[in-house]
């Protein structure tokens, strides 16, 4: 996991972050420098569960908590990314808000 070393506010009301990441974590950006989201696992306050179904529980599901389900259409394509650190695996799902 990375950490924010410093912040600076611009006249336009934007915030510039100086961020420190491990080399392997930085590689997971795959060279992309736009459309970057910064988040902390400590900010995630809603608890949920994983579910397993099927023969030998071969199918795994991430359950969406009730409080996050409003305005979701379940027949749309969703992008998914898996981020790995030394101690955690983080799954990020991206749903196009225009299609919701």
pLDDT digits (tens, 9 = 90+) for 45-76: 898 999 999 999 899 998 889 888 887 777 77
Greatest extent of the chain over all pairs of C-alpha atoms, in Å:
58
As a whole-number percent, the residues of the chain with pLDDT over 70 amount to 97
Q: Which residues constitute the domain of residue 7? A: 3-99
* C-alpha angle 83-58-87 in degrees, rounded to nearest 5: 25
For CA atoms 1, 50, 30, 42, give the dihedral sign: negative
User: Distance (Å, rounded) from C-alpha 100 to C-alpha 95?
Assistant: 8
pTM of the model: 0.71
Place of tokens 């970057």: 36
- How many residues are given for the chain? 100
Look over the chain and give the mean of its residue pLDDT values, rounded to a whole number.
88
Residue 78 CB partners (closer than 8 Å, separation 6+) = 93, 94, 95
* Total of domains in the chain: 1
How many CB atoms sit inside 10 A of residue 87's CB? 6
């Amino acid at each position: 996991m990375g950490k924010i070393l410093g912040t600076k506010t611009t006249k336009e009301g934007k915030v510039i972050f100086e961020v420190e990441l491990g080399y392997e974590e930085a590689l997971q950006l795959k060279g992309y420098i736009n459309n970057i989201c910064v988040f902390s696992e400590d900010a995630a306050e809603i608890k949920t569960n994983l579910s397993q179904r099927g023969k030998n529980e071969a199918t795994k599901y991430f359950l969406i908590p009730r409080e996050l389900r409003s305005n979701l259409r379940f027949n749309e394509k969703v992008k998914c990314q898996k981020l790995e650190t030394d101690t955690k695996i983080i799954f990020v799902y991206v749903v196009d808000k225009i299609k919701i």
